[in-house]
Amino acid sequence: MPPLGACRQCLVRVEKIPRWQTSCTLLAEEGMVVHASTPEVRAAQERNLEFLLINHPLDCPICDKGGECPLQDQTFTYGPGRSRFVETKRDFAKPVSLGPILVLDRERCILCWRCVRFGEIIAGDEALKGFERGFATEINTPFTAPVRSKFIGNTISICPVGALTSRTYRFRARPWDTTPVPSVCNHCGLGCALWLDVRDRTVVRVRAREVPDLNDIWLCDLGQFGFSWLHARDRLTRPLVRRDGRLQEASWEEALVLVAERLRAARRDGPGRVAVLGGTRLTNEDNFLLRRFFREVVGTPHIDHRIDARPGSASLEVAWGLRTPLPAISQSDLLLLVGCDITEEYPIAWLRMKQAIDRGAALYSLHSRSLEIRRFARGTLVPTPGAEGVVLSQAAAAVSGAAPDGAVLREAGVDPAVVEALAAELRAARAPMVFLGKSALEGPAGRAVLRAAHHLQTAGCTVQVMRGKGNAIGAALMGVLPAPGGWSAPEIIRQAGSGALQVLYLLGGDPATEVADARAWEAARARTPFLVVHDLFLTETARQADMVLPALAFAEKDGTVCNLEGRVQRITAAVRGPGEARSDAAVLAALAARLGVPWAYEGWEDVFAAAAAAVPGLAVGAIITPPPLSGDWPEDYAPPPPSADLVLTSGEVLFDLGSMTSRSPAIAELAGPPTVWVHPTDAAARGLTDGALAQLSAGDASLVLRARVTTEVPAGRVFVPRGFDSLPLHRLLSWDRPMPTVSLRAVGGMAAAAAGAEAAP
């Protein structure tokens, strides 16, 4: 943020300028003489500090900021020693709750405006504002509801006093009580650098670790507050083996012997009788041993980490990740988001985009609904279902000089003038970027989108494939992908449903909730004799398993991970895992020994060295950039058949209720219960009001949840967020219907009373 000079604690005297100057806002000039530490300057700084402390409560012993408070440090350095202010200090009601995370203490606020300016300049959400004037000025949220922001934790970090504190850390520890351990966020794929503050073998706080080329000094609220699951009471601590139809605790020896026997028997019948899914929550070292074990020891080619892809998806045919380092986004002069809800999927990347916009970059979005960032966009395109490829193809053709076909664009549901404006800006742009998101690549027009994006790439655009969570890029680099002749993740599930597998091995994945076709997974589970699951919790998939092995989380093991840039980063064990939980690498090494192939690795460094010998460019701190788009893809858009039903769209949201986030109370409260987004026209036609219970039905499956009536979703469509384990959205979906439709009706009477109990948070 640019300097403001609000606190005035950096006063200096400049020769030939009669007034005091704030050094933070003063531009250096040739010949300027500045006095920063003379007795006169020091006296002015002391007087100013005395004014700042007049109404400050001086409650350092109970303030969360104690020990890391700039005002406290300044007082020790420049303070007068005793106060001359003998009148009664003003007081306010406190603490003031501003939501699940933020707590405000107005008595401590010195009106530095950092929190307000962060929302205005950095995040663009204006979550906090200054109200009233002069002596009556106070900081608060402009909303009647609790503060709405995805970055509010950063205002706590940059507050120079204890005016803004977090519920998760309030009265938990002092800085000298904690040990900071460097690590990497494991939620979205950007891999933000962070500190894990540990006290008494417990992570009590997460802070941003400054890396200017990555997340700078910022974190989103999911990364900063979504960590309580590490110490959840229901973490798996011992192996579980199914006996007499129930999962029961077993020793590691018993578990490893049984898994090894099953793998050995399957290998005798043909190594292709074993398949493996998972890898995004594993370290690079775990993934390297996963690939080596199942390819070389077991011999199967059926390995994949892309569990949430659908059969034939375009995302299975392209390398995921950024083609440039993250800071290059802020230097772009045109940003086109295609099926990418950036603030929900990769929020820290949005902060880079906001920098570009502030420098004059044009922002356009092409998405199935109106996005949160629309107020910053020069153009918003919301096409008819599946027409993203048509619209993008028209824009690409216009960049090459062809005139957009107005009739085609109007049929696709967009304004031809916006497409013409986009094409003109693409032609004139110096560093244009196109961001392809999951909803476009997984949709029915995924190949058409890739085809048009490839044309834009040849015209000078950088195409970024915004796909993958956690360590998905590392899993791909380590080879957790199908070998020649191997099956992709959706094909593994289909083949399992036909009885082709004897053993299905899962590491850190939950296909029972992630696969967008409940029947496909149910068939796979029913026809697979032996299911092994490595996980942190007893997920829905783990409940169905024959063997459940307790794994370690990212904060409990050493190793490396890769982010969406391909940046190789080190993670360090900060706490011990619960009970007898083991790292995935340790389990795989033990199984290899039992299958007659002992490995000589003594630690993560040995595994990383072996991986570096196999993967060109792999080194801590290196960035391994994926190749540009190549090849050509056919058009695959087909207009949906006329139907009285509504087209069901779904997508990622930042705050969901998955196996980890549901066990982080602050995130669970931010997420709230899932809702179905309905356009006012469709809601009125069905007698639905905002907050009312609604039933979505497709075939013999139905869900009841509350309606959110909003113009953010177009008429004829509904939107339901993914990632809520308690909401079996996948029961309404089918791989055979890439453009699903649902019926929607209001739930009333006795049905509403019964369903309301289930839909309530």
What pLDDT is stored for residue 254 in this prediction?
98
Q: How many CA atoms lie within 13 A of 100 on its CB side?
A: 18
Q: Domain of 274: which CATH number? A: 3.40.50.740
Residue 495 is inside which H or E element, if any? Answer: helix 489-497
pLDDT tens sequence across 714-744: 999 999 999 999 899 999 999 988 889 999 9
Q: Are 64 and 203 in the same domain?
A: yes
Task: Supply the pTM of this predicted model.
Answer: 0.94
332 pLDDT above the threshold of 90: yes
pLDDT tens sequence across 460-490: 999 999 999 999 999 999 999 999 999 999 9
pLDDT tens sequence across 639-665: 555 566 899 999 999 999 999 999 999
Contact present, 397 and 453 (Cβ < 8 Å): no
Q: Are 251 and 336 in the same domain?
A: no
CA 338, CA 439: separation in Å to the nearest integer? 9
758 pLDDT above the threshold of 60: no
What pLDDT is stored for residue 46 in this prediction?
87
pLDDT band at 315 (very low <50, low <70, confident <90, very high): very high
Three-state SS letters, 649-677: EEECCCCCECCCHHHCHHHHHHHCCCEEE
Q: Are 355 and 489 in the same domain?
A: no
Amino acid at 336: L
What pLDDT is stored for residue 395 in this prediction?
97
What pLDDT is stored for residue 146 in this prediction?
85
CA angle 216, 219, 223 (to 5 degrees): 140
* 92, part of any domain: yes
What pLDDT is stored for residue 757 in this prediction?
42
Q: Are 692 and 733 in the same domain?
A: yes
pLDDT band at 751 (very low <50, low <70, confident <90, very high): very low
Please give the structure tokens belonging to residue 40. Answer: 């006169």
What pLDDT is stored for residue 750 in this prediction?
43
Please give the structure tokens belonging to residue 390. Answer: 């048509």
pLDDT band at 760 (very low <50, low <70, confident <90, very high): very low
Q: Are 222 and 260 in the same domain?
A: no
Task: Return the bridge partners of 196, or none.
Answer: 181, 206
pLDDT tens sequence across 102-134: 999 999 999 999 999 999 999 999 999 999 888
Please give the structure tokens belonging to residue 278. Answer: 């998972």
Residue with token string 């011992």: 238
Give the other-Cβ count within 10 Å of 292's Cβ: 21
Q: Are 431 and 491 in the same domain?
A: no
Contact present, 506 and 524 (Cβ < 8 Å): no
CA 593, CA 394: separation in Å to the nearest integer? 57
Which range marks the domain in which residue 256 is found? 240-314+472-614
User: Based on the structure, what is the number of domains in the chain?
Assistant: 4
* 619, part of any domain: no
Classify 41 as helix, strand or coil: helix
Contact present, 25 and 5 (Cβ < 8 Å): yes
- Which string of b and e fits 400-417 if b means at least 16 CB within 10 Å? eeeebbeebbeebbbebe
Residue with token string 């204890």: 162
Q: Domain of 352: which CATH number? A: 3.40.228.10
What pLDDT is stored for residue 88 in this prediction?
85
pLDDT tens sequence across 372-397: 999 999 999 999 999 999 999 999 99
Boundary residue ending a domain (229, 261, 292): 229
Task: Return the bridge partners of 649, or none.
Answer: 719
Please state, for a pLDDT cut of 90, what percent of the chain lies above it. Answer: 83
Q: Are 343 and 279 in the same domain?
A: no
* 310, part of any domain: yes
* 190, part of any domain: yes
Residue with token string 């949005």: 350
* 55, part of any domain: yes
Q: What is the mean pLDDT of the chain?
A: 93
pLDDT band at 48 (very low <50, low <70, confident <90, very high): confident
Q: Domain of 84: which CATH number? A: 3.30.70.20
Please give the structure tokens belonging to residue 39. Answer: 């007795």
- The pLDDT of 317-336, averaged and rounded, is 96
Which candidate, 175, 165, 172, places its Cα nearest to that of 66?
Answer: 175
Residue with token string 């970090």: 157
Boundary residue ending a domain (174, 203, 229): 229
Which candidate, 71, 76, 94, 68, places its Cα nearest to that of 169?
Answer: 68
CA 677, CA 698: separation in Å to the nearest integer? 17
What is the DSSP track for 349-383? Answer: HHHHHHHHHHTT-EEEEE-SS--GGGGG-SEEE-P
Contact present, 724 and 655 (Cβ < 8 Å): no
Q: Are 420 and 478 in the same domain?
A: no
pLDDT band at 622 (very low <50, low <70, confident <90, very high): very high
Q: Are 294 and 180 in the same domain?
A: no
Give 147's DSSP letter. -
What pLDDT is stored for residue 759 in this prediction?
45
574 pLDDT above the threshold of 70: yes
pLDDT tens sequence across 491-518: 999 999 999 999 999 999 999 999 999 9
Boundary residue ending a domain (408, 432, 465): 465
What pLDDT is stored for residue 90 in this prediction?
85
What pLDDT is stored for residue 634 in this prediction?
65
Q: Are 563 and 494 in the same domain?
A: yes
* 357, part of any domain: yes
* 751, part of any domain: yes
Q: Are 223 and 247 in the same domain?
A: no
CA 490, CA 277: separation in Å to the nearest integer? 10
Q: Are 341 and 425 in the same domain?
A: yes
Classify 179 as helix, strand or coil: strand
636 pLDDT above the threshold of 60: no
- Crossing angle of helices 416-428 and 388-399, in 10° steps, is 50
pLDDT tens sequence across 219-251: 999 999 999 999 999 999 999 999 999 999 999
Which candidate, 616, 346, 620, places its Cα nearest to that of 472?
Answer: 346
CA 675, CA 673: separation in Å to the nearest integer? 7
CA angle 571, 607, 492 (to 5 degrees): 90
What pLDDT is stored for residue 253 in this prediction?
98
626 pLDDT above the threshold of 90: yes
pLDDT band at 431 (very low <50, low <70, confident <90, very high): very high
- The pLDDT of 160-175, averaged and rounded, is 94
* 194, part of any domain: yes
Dihedral (Cα; 665, 670, 675, 678), 10-degree rounding = -170
What pLDDT is stored for residue 583 in this prediction?
97
Contact present, 320 and 88 (Cβ < 8 Å): no
